[in-house]
Structure formats: C-alpha cells, structure tokens
Structure 1
C-alpha cells in the first residue's frame, strides 16, 4: 500500500476527498469559528493603525510606544468609533426604522389605492376574480397563520441566538488583541505543524492568505463606508424618507457581492414608490448609476485584483454560503472562497513534478 502512496496522493479524487473532509469539519465548527473570523477581520483592519501608532515618538523622540500600548490604543479608538456610530447613526436609525414600520401599512394601502385608482380610470386593467374566491381567501388565511407561527418560532430562536452571539462577540476584541500582539508567533506555530521539507511552502501559503485577507477586509470596509455615505446623502437629497436606514442597509448590502446592489436598492425603491411613483424611478436610476460607478471604478480601485475570483465561482460560493448559513454565509463566502483559491493555486499540483 505504501509504495502506491505517491500515486494516491496525486489522485484528484484523493485531493477532493481531503478538501471535502476539511470543509465538513469547518461546517461542524461554524458556531465556534464565527467569533474567530470576526477577530481575524478586526485584526487585519486595525493592523495599519497599530503600526502607525507604534511609530509615534513622544518627548522629542526619546520615548517610543510599545506594540502592546499601540494595540490597546487602536482597540480603544475602534471602541470609540463604534460608540460614535451607535450614538450618531444607530440610535437615530432605530427612530427612523420605528417610524418606517409604523408607516409600512400606510405605504401598502397607498400603493393599493393607486392601483385601485388606475383600475377605476381604466376598467380593462381589472384582473379577473378566481372562480372559487372563498377557497382563495381560506388559503391566504391559512398561509398567514402559518407565516405568523413561523415568525414567532424564529423570534424565540433568534433571541437565543442573540444571547449566544453576544457571548461570542465579547471575546472578539480579546482575540483580536492577541492576533495583533503575537501574530508572528502564531504564524510560526502554524508553519511548525508541517514537516521541515514543507515549512517553506507552508510559510508561502500562510503569507499569501494573510495578504489576500488583509486586502479584502480593508477594501470591503472602505467600500461599505463609501456606499453608506453616498446612499444616505443621495436619498436625502432626493427627498426619500429614512435616509439613515437606507444608508445603513447599503453598508450591510455592500458586503454581499453580486446580489448586494439589488438587496440595497429594493427597499429604497419600495419606500420611494409609497411616496410617489415617479420618485421610485428617480431612486432606481440613482442606485443604478451609483452601483455602476461602484462596480467599474470604485471597487477596482480599492480592491484591485487581490481576490481574483471568477464571477461563476463567486455566485456558486454565495449560493453555498446562503444555503448553509444564510446572510452570514453570504458575507463570509467570498473570503472563504479566496482562501480556497490560494490553497488550490499553491498546493493542488505541489510536488507532482518531483515524483515519478
């Protein structure tokens, strides 16, 4: 058996089996990995700030801040930034969301009245009623009852999930602190898991994954903030209600590739249509122009070719992520796919040219 090991190791089926096994283990550990991934992302985002603070000299250059102090200051700056977002954006956002939810039935009624008005003006547009109207009504009522039950169950499950998530979020800054403080030791620890002959290749893979993730996290952070700012200002200028809600939603939608623009635009068009049908056209045009600029100019400038994933791979990754983990799966689908791409490029054909 051992004499056939080189051929088995080079087999495509063997490699696919290893990838599948690793993916399955990661899937089973998803609940544990989420705080870890968030901490890694935070560490990558704060790394340039930590380096900048560590270079600051005080007392006419006589005192240089230690890296630990620089990390603590960077984390404090991040916490202040989060508190500012909560105070100036999140709290007003909740107020706008509450107002939006209160107006939601009125928006739907207004939309229906507009449809009714068009039907009265042109009776030919009135749809034919189904032959069994009572059956239709009963079916809708049953669906509504089932929907309400599902929502209530999801609320209970979400409440438990929120408690677990809060516990996980508490450890994120602590993990990020140690990632920033001891990243060289952690990198060396990972490399030392491999045989001496493979350590050089392992170091190359680890470094490329680090560069890819760093570029993605920083680029995506900038893109999201730009989108939130532009959408907030643009919708406010167009006179659309709830610009902060739409801007915050744009920040979240920007983290989802491919379908993010559609996710960001639909609520805005719906709100605008509730105000005036012609406003919906203006909003749709605004989103179309902005996201075209985003895709063709802003994103290439900020992201470059660091991820380098084919659109088909992106879409498949998003579908798998959405199926397994919902919205969070879609958010993390691209960086995970980028890591797999690095592993494929570096390791899939490694050693094949040296073995007979």
Structure 2
C-alpha cells in the first residue's frame, strides 16, 4: 500500500491525490498573500467587479422571476425570442405604470413623514419620559435624567446637523452612477441572459474533464434549484406581506399606510430581521397616535405574521433551503457586520450556494472513501 493510503483518514481525504489537494490550497493561499501585498496590481480587477456586480445581480434576480413565464410561453409554441420581447415589453409597461401612478404618492408620503419625524420623536420621548417619571422607578430616573428637555430642544435642529455632517459626496455620486449604469444595462444583460442563459451551464461543463461532468451538472442543478426557489419565493412572499399590511393599516386607520406597507414589503426580503426593521416606524407612529392604536397595530402585525408563517411561506417556499432559522440569523448578522446592507441582502442565497458546494464536495469525498455507495445517491443533494 502506498504511504499516502496508509490510514483511513488519508484515504478519505483523497489518498495519493492528497498532496495535489494540499498543493492547490497552498497556491490559493499564496495568491491571497500576493493580492494583499500587491493590491494595486489587482485594483483595476476589483473596480471592474464592483462595477459589473450590481447589474449582474439585478439581472440574475429578474432572470429567475421571468424564466418561468418565458418557459410557459415556449410551451404555448411561441418562439423564445418573441416570448422574451413580449415579456420585457409588459414588464417595462408595468414599471412605467408604477412610476406614474404610485411612486409620486409614495414620494409625497415619504416627504411628509420626513418632515413630521422630529415631531414624532419628540412626542415619543415625551411619552416615555412621562411614563418613566410616573412609574415605580421615577425617583431613580429623575436622578439620572435631570434635563430631558435639553435633549428635546435639539431635535428640531437635527436636519440642520445632518446636513452639516454629510460627507462623502464623491462616494455618493459614484454609487448613484453605478445604480444608473446598472438600470441602463439591465435590459440588455437580461435579454441575453434569458435568450442564452440556459446554454451557459453546458458551456461551463464542457470545460471540465468528461469524468467530472456529471458531478458538475449536479452542482449546477443544486445551485439553480436553491436560487430559483429562494428568489421567486421570497419576492412573492414579500409582495403578499406588503398587500396584507396595507389592508391592515387601512382598516385600523394608521397614517402613511401605503408607505409603511411598502417598507414592510421591501424589508421582508430579509428573513427574520426584516420584519423587525419594518415594524419600527409603524410602531413609533402608533405610540404617538394613541395606546389603542398600538394594540391595533400589534393585532395586525400578529395576524400578518401568522398568515405568512403558517400558510404563505410553507405553500410558496416550502422547505427548499433546508437552513435552520438560527443559522439564518447568524449568517445575516455576520454578513451585515462584514458587508452592510448588500451583505444582508445576499447572505442567504450566498449561503445556500455555499451549502450546495460544500455538500457536494463532502459527498464526493465520502464516495471516494466508501466505494459501495450507490451511484443513484449522487443526486440526493439536488433535492435539498
């Protein structure tokens, strides 16, 4: 027996190919070291990735949303190119209708809420201050905060302070430029992605050795399943939450119902943490309005969360991701700390892709160690 196959652990890790695997990891680490030491050489590559990342991510999201429609139209004997053009024209028309009819109203509500926000904060602090002074902890609270009015008097000046402390105008312009470029290039990238995207995996698979192609195909199938299930399901669930929240806010008579429902719909894209973020502005307005409004808001929020958790999400998304809620929360917190808002948005699909890759790699290593594993078991990961 070769010295590389001397123990079960070594055989499990690849046997005689273990040295090759370790060499690959060494080269990867060496590349990372070179990158950190000579980052100015790779700066153009980083700028390129940052520039194309946003339009590509947006295109992939819209691709997974429109792909079922394109496939359905193809089943109706409509040529793919015509199906794509018709779908894009309909989507552009709907976006134009949204901009013309809804966006101006949302903008008006947003401006009004921004103007009223200092007053809401002032009333909220006054209410909390009065409640604490009348509570059993009133004496301790009074000793700690002798002059809460001095803090309140600064609230009207918050906009001026914010205006004076705004920095990074160049960064803002760069971000705005990237967004504009992404929106302009989105239709073109999306068109070719819808037209030839289904051919891309086969092109990539052809670059691998014939023996590894079946395994690479299973990886692509797993990633495609995870992304399509998450993106399509999460968008539909978020839309349903927004509609239910809007109806609920209208019923209880909460101010800025459409704006708050839109915020709830957008933030619901982030699992678990999104709803907590969405309830904050609505809760502030409800507390300032009346205690009874807080109870009505709590009732609406509870009903919406129950409907979403018990009926909508299980029917639309099911258990496609197979990720424990605690794991999701840890992934979101870590990604948010490292990469901010973008990290939070991309955390779950990124983790799902990583999970597919790690699962396949572990299974391949397991098959290498156990030569009696059935070939059919190779595809069990695709169902995760």
| TM-score under structure 1 length normalisation | 0.82
Task: Tell me how far 1:227 sits from its aligned partner.
Answer: 0.7
Q: Among 250, 253, 259, which residue is 1:239 paired with?
A: 253
CA distance in 2, matches of 1:53, 1:222: 20
Q: Secondary structure at the match of 2:254?
A: coil
Q: Cα RMSD between the aligned structures? A: 3.5
What stretches of structure 2 of length at least 5 have no aligned partner?
5-14, 37-41, 371-384
CA distance in 2, matches of 1:313, 1:8: 33
Kindly report which structure 2 residues correspond to 1:60-71, keeping only aligned pairs within 5 A, or say none. 64-71=77-84
Task: Tell me how far 1:288 sits from its aligned partner.
Answer: 2.4
Q: Which residue of 2 aligns with 1:103?
A: 116
CA distance in 2, matches of 1:5, 1:91: 66
| 1:9 to 1:84, Cα distance in 2 relative to 1, 3 A | farther
Q: Among 180, 184, 194, which residue is 2:198 paired with?
A: 184
Contact 1:93 1:245 in 2 (8 A): yes
CA distance in 1, matches of 2:185, 2:327: 32
Q: Among 291, 295, 298, which residue is 2:312 paired with?
A: 298
Q: Secondary structure at the match of 1:182?
A: helix
Kindly report which structure 2 residues correspond to 1:123-138, keeping only aligned pairs within 5 A, or say none. 125=138, 127-130=141-144
Q: Which residue of 2 aligns with 1:87?
A: 100
Larger relative CO (CA 8 A, sep 6+): 1 or 2? 2
What stretches of structure 1 of length at least 5 have no aligned partner?
57-63
Task: Tell me how far 1:184 sits from its aligned partner.
Answer: 3.1
1:228 matched to 2:242? The reply is: yes
CA distance in 2, matches of 1:243, 1:271: 11
Q: Which residue of 1 aligns with 2:18?
A: 7
1:38 matched to 2:58? The reply is: yes
Q: Among 174, 186, 207, which residue is 1:193 paired with?
A: 207
Task: Tell me how far 1:73 sits from its aligned partner.
Answer: 0.9
| 1:52 to 1:354, Cα distance in 2 relative to 1, 3 A | closer
CA distance in 1, matches of 2:165, 2:248: 33
Q: Which residue of 2 aligns with 1:48?
A: 68
1:163-187 CA distances to partner (integer Å, 9 max, x unpaired)? 2121122222211211111123211
CA distance in 2, matches of 1:295, 1:108: 32
1:162 matched to 2:176? The reply is: yes
| 1:8 to 1:83, Cα distance in 2 relative to 1, 3 A | farther
1:148-175 CA distances to partner (integer Å, 9 max, x unpaired)? 3785115653343122121122222211
1:285 matched to 2:299? The reply is: yes
Q: Which residue of 2 aligns with 1:203?
A: 217
Contact 2:133 2:142 in 1 (8 A): no
Q: Which residue of 2 aligns with 1:307?
A: 321
Q: Which residue of 2 aligns with 1:322?
A: 336
| 1:88 to 1:71, Cα distance in 2 relative to 1, 3 A | same
| 1:51 to 1:151, Cα distance in 2 relative to 1, 3 A | farther
Contact 1:89 1:244 in 2 (8 A): no
Task: Tell me how far 1:31 sits from its aligned partner.
Answer: 4.8
